[in-house]
Amino acid sequence: MIQDIQGMMVERLLEYEKQNKKFPDRVLVFRDGVSEGQFDLVLKHEKPAILESLKKVKCKAKLSIAICGKRHHTRFYPTRVEDADRTSNTKAGTVGDKGVTSVYDFDFYLQAHSGLQGTVRSTHYTVIVRVSFVGVGFLNSHPFQYDEISIAADDIQQGVNDLCYLWARATRSVSLVPPAYWADRACERARMYLHGIYPPLEGSPEKNFDERRIITEANRLWGNGVHENLKSTMFYL
């Protein structure tokens, strides 16, 4: 699970308020790197922390959490020539939300990108939270009152597909929704900074490591974190 997700959410909400002079009306969190067996952990640990961050800054935004992943074996193939692209894959923007999706969950497959070689792999999105965070004054008697967001499946599918065209390093769409993609890039950059002190991989000869020493060394290398001039930029791309 994500450590200190509440602090990160508060930081982003305050930055949004600084740039737009108001808080967002809706917050859509894209969570990557979570298997289907870990959905409950997200609901038990991360969702309350996110709601607490909204409460802390007095933001009345509606919240949705969507799990996105590409570690699956589902593939889509065009059944007509006119539905295929130049690589014989389905065209960019193809959505699969019937037949292969869950009966009870709100999930769908989206292939937002065009394949360059081989068979493309769509991204599987599962919306696990669709709630509304009620006003702070109401919370005195009802700590967390939830209300379903009346957002249609077509709307969120179209929105995710549109987001896939906002990747900063490409002029075309990408396969994974950019917020999750950017988070991967940021983690990859941080990993490069701290590569020398990472604990050994499972199965390596050196299995014992001092966690306190690693934290101390990480603080020494990382210092005060990202420079103030870079904090609100996408330098990690």
Q: 95 burial class (0-12, 13-18, 19+ CB within 10 angstroms)?
A: buried
219 vs 30, higher pLDDT = 30
- Where do we find the tokens 């067996």? 37
Interval 171-184 mean pLDDT: 92
Ordered domains of the chain (ranges, CATH): 5-176 (3.30.420.10), 194-237 (no CATH)
From the list 40, 48, 43, 54, the residue with the least C-alpha distance to 10 is 54
Is the pLDDT assigned to residue 204 strictly greater than 80?
Answer: no
Interval 104-117 mean pLDDT: 89
Residues 6+ apart with CB under 8 A from 80: none
Which pLDDT band holds residue 91 (cuts at 50, 70, 90)?
A: very high
Q: How far apart are CA 53 and CA 13, in angstroms?
A: 9
pTM of whole model > 0.85? no
Of 1-5, 39-43, 122-126, 212-216, least confident by mean pLDDT is 212-216
